[in-house]
Amino acid sequence: MAVISKMDLTEENTKARDEIATSRSYRFYYGWIIVLVSFVVMTFAAPLLASFSIFYVALYKDLGWSRGSTAIALAIFLLVTGIAGPVVGGLFDKFNPRWMMVLGTVTTAVALLWLGVMTNLWEFYIAYGVLASAGSSFIHIVPFAAIISNWFVRYRGLALGIVTGGMGLGQVVIPVLQQSIDQFGWRGTYRLVALMFFVIPTALIIFFLHRRPEDRGISLEEEGLLRTRSKGSSDTVGQSINDVRSDEPKHEVRIVDEEWARREWTTREAIRTSRFWTLLLLITLFGTGYMMINVQMVAYLGDKGYSSILAASAVGLQGFVYIFGRIFGGALSDRIGREKTVTVSAVIFILFLVTLYIAGFVSSPILVYSSVVLYGMGGAMPLPALIAAAGDIFQGKHFGAIIGLLLLGGYIGGAVGAWLGGYLFDHLHSYDWHFILAIGVTVASSALIWKARPSKVRVIRAVSVG
């Protein structure tokens, strides 16, 4: 019988440890499939809102509507979407999200088909402002914010950044939609967009979407874990550390306020806190400043002598930058905190406003595109950071309804901004006050995140796994 010495055992253990150290890899987490599906669906849904600025110009020119009266449809859209947010969030907390999302895609498609045959302003208000907004509420930010928050904690900001980046990718097609409007008219383009909602988003939702990890038989604890295994081993689950495997988190959540973080927040309890109202006001102000400029941007560039194709291309570029802005903003908020990320984005957004204003007096496409890059970053970065901040503060099974209420503020602010932008131009025939007010509310909103201080509840930090 062979005798194994102590030295042999030591060498064997050293070799085994070396093999383990060189074979670490990430455990695949199904939550990233949820992120991918959510990203694609958001990409399909995004043009509904993002393309308003180019349909806006085509509609008031073709049908003889005033800019102010036409912009009211967007104000209605944002208000209805905002009001629907808490309702949708509550429904998603209670019922199967798949079939409600399918209902959303079908409803939105019907609304778009109606837009393709409308002739009256009141039809535009109902089809776009009410029906399309109600349908899209089931496939937009509120339900996906709730679902992603169920699947992620350590990488919540990054995951939300990727998902909301779909809104940016949806804007990339804006130049294509402008070409379609120029060639087939706005009616034919609305019909084309309607057909898209009947197929791809619906299939992805039915086959791949799940509300929480438990629905797939896995645990939230598997998020961000490393898989440590010996060479030649194909199994990654179910062995102990004695079987040369251990799971280690790459990022950890440090609870700062234990009492707050462990509380199961309901909507009623959340609205009794100053943090809720601070976040609500912050999001409302941001929405006001953002939409005041967003809706009027194509018209502003057109009035300053830029072509419609250049203006539409600028909006498309903004959407492309949005993809990176959302992802970067979410990931950055996981690294440096929600407060600093929102502040940085506010500075970038103000730089955009200044650059765009100057572009109105200096005929320079390069200046326009430069301003749009700043717009794409400064306008995109806050959303994933703010949703993640709300999740840090009010995480729990009622988060869908809570985030719906908070985002209602953004839609109300956006509705006010959309209406105010058209109203100011109709009465002042100038865009000067648009820029002044947008800068003011941006500064105010960035200051409020420091009052909410989500970092006083939870902090995400990297840990060594080497």
Confirm if 163 and 42 have CB atoms less than 8 A apart.
yes
**Is residue 230 situated within a structural domain?**
no
Per-residue pLDDT, averaged over 369-376, amounts to 88
Inside any domain, residue 262:
yes
Give the per-residue pLDDT at 43.
Answer: 82
Over the chain, what is the mean pLDDT?
Answer: 79
Residue 100 lies in a domain: yes
DSSP 238: S
Q: Determine the structural domain holding residue 171 and report its residue range.
A: 28-216+256-462
113-122, 178-187, 225-234, range with the lowest pLDDT: 225-234
Q: Considering the domain boundaries, does residue 146 fall inside one?
A: yes
User: What is the pLDDT averaged over residues 290-299?
Assistant: 83
Return the percentage of the chain with pLDDT > 90, whole number: 14
- Nearest-10 crossing angle of helices 382-394, 399-428: 140
Rg of the chain in Å (alpha carbons): 24
Within-domain flag for 16: no
Q: Please choose, from the candidates 385, 386, 359, 384, the residue with its C-alpha nearest in 3D space to the C-alpha of residue 372.
A: 359
pLDDT of amino acid 84: 81
Q: By mean pLDDT, which of 285-294, 312-321, 435-444 is the weakest?
A: 312-321
Q: Specify whether the CB–CB gap between 198 and 109 falls below 8 A.
A: yes
Report how many domains make up the chain.
Answer: 1
Residue 120 sits in a domain of what CATH number? Answer: 1.20.1250.20
Amino acid at 116: G
Domain annotation covers residue 279: yes
Mean pLDDT over 387-396 rounds to 86
Residue 227 lies in a domain: no
Residue 279 has pLDDT above 90, yes or no: yes
Residues 6 or more apart whose Cβ sits within 8 Å of residue 45: 108, 136, 139, 140, 166, 167, 170, 201
Q: Residue 19 has what pLDDT?
A: 46
Round to whole Å and give the CA distance between 192 and 434: 34
Among residues 233, 263, 259, 261, the alpha carbon closest in space to that of 245 is found at: 233
Please state the pTM of the whole predicted model.
0.67
pLDDT at 195 over 70: yes
Query: Residue 224 has what pLDDT?
Result: 61
CA angle 187, 55, 358 (to 5 degrees): 160
Do residues 392 and 154 touch, judged by C-beta distance below 8 A?
A: no
Check residue 2 and give its pLDDT: 46
Give helix 308-336 / helix 338-359 axis angle, nearest 10°: 160
CA separation for the pair 36, 41 (Å, rounded): 9
Looking at residue 1, what is its pLDDT? 45
- 11 occurs within a structural domain: no
